[in-house]
Amino acid sequence: MIKPHGSDTLKPLFVENEADRIALLSEAETLPSIELTSAAAANAVMLGGGYFTPLEGYMNLQDMQSVADNLTTANGTFFPVPVVNLTKDVSSLEGAKRIALKDPNVEGNPVIAVQTIENIEEVSTEVLTNVAEAIFGTADSAHPGVSTFLSHGNFLISGPIQVLNFSYFDTDFSETFRTAVQIREEIAQRGWEKVVAFQTRNPMHRAHEELCRMAMNDLNTDGILIHMLLGKLKKGDIPAEVRDDAIRKMVDAYFPENTVMITGYGFDMLYAGPREAVLHALFRQNCGCTHFIVGRDHAGVGDFYGAFDAQTIFDEKVPAGSLEIEIYKADHTAYSKKLNKVVMMRDAPDHTKEDFILLSGTKVREMLGNGIAPPPEFSRPEVAQVLMDYYQSLEEQTA
C-alpha cells in the first residue's frame, strides 16, 4: 500500500489507550482552558485521525508563514495549508505549559484535546492577511475562507496535542465518519491495491457518478473511495446527512459490490481552491489511496479561481516527489444528447452547449424545491427523491 505522507507509518494523535485518555481528562480538569474555533477543533479531529501525518500538533508562526509562502514547514516538510490554533484571548494562559482545548461544536464544550504549549505568539492582522492571501489567492473578505480565517483571532498557540475524541463526527455520522487509520485498514481488508479517491461536499448527480466510473476504468483500480466532507460549510450548501443518504442510495443501486467505500471525514471546508486540492490529495495519500480525482473548479467558490487552477498547481507549485499519490485530472462532465451518455467535455470537441444536458445549480434547487425531479440524464431518481424531500422540508419550515 502507498506510504503515508512524510512518514513510513501514519501518525494519528488520538490517544487509543482508554486508561491514558481517562488520566488526560482528569489532568484537563486542572489545566487552564480555551474554547477552540470550529476550524481549530476540526484540525484536532484531523490530527487525531492521522489525516495530517506527519504533523504532531499545531504550527507556530514560522511554520505558518513558511507553509503559506513555500508550501513547506520551516524544517522542509511539504504541506499546502497551515494547521493552526488561533484564538482571540490568551490572558488566562499566562505561564501555562499545558492547556485543555474545548470543543465549540458539542453541547457543554467538552475537552477534545490537551495541548503542550511550545509558544504563544501574537500575530499582526497584516501578517494574517498576507497568509490568507497566499492560501486563498485573495484577501477579499467576500471569500468565505478568508473571512473565516481572519475572524479567528491574533494569538497563535503552537505545540503538540493529544486528541481525546472526534467531536460530533463520531456520534452524528457513526456509519460514515472514518479516520485515515480505519480507511487504511478497510482497504487492506478488501484486498485493494490500486484505489482512486473522490472528494465531495455535494450530492452526486449523474456526472459525478460517471466521473468516478471513468476514473476507475481508466486507471484500472480495485475500487473507489467516495470521501465526503462532514464539517462546516457555507450557508446554502446541502447538509452532510442529506448528502450521505443520497450518495448511499446511488451507490447501492448503480455500482457493483465491493467497488466503493463510502466514508466521511471531520473537517471544515476551506474553499481554498488549488491549495485545498493539494490538501485533499495529501489526505487521501494518508488514507492509502494511490490516485485522486481533481475536477474542474475543485474546492472553489464564486469566481475566485480559474476552472483548472486546482490541476495546474500540481504541475507548477508542488515540487516533484512531494506527494506519492497520483492525480487524475478531470474535465467538466455532462450528459451528451448526441452520444446518449455522460462524457467529459474535452472528449467531445464536436459538441456545442446545446448538445449537453446542462442545468445550473440555481435551476436544480428551484426544480427540487417545487417537487420536480431533474431529468434522469442529470440526476438518478433515487438521488432526486432524497433532495426533493430535503428542499420541500425547507419550504415547509419557511411557510
Q: Is 154 a catalytic residue?
A: no
Query: Catalytic: which of 21, 98, 190, 201?
Result: 201
Nearest of 172, 144, 231, 185 to residue 1 by alpha carbon: 185
Q: Is 75 a catalytic residue?
A: no
| All three cell numbers of 127 | 501578517
Query: Catalytic: which of 70, 109, 154, 202?
Result: 202
Catalytic (active-site) positions: 201-202
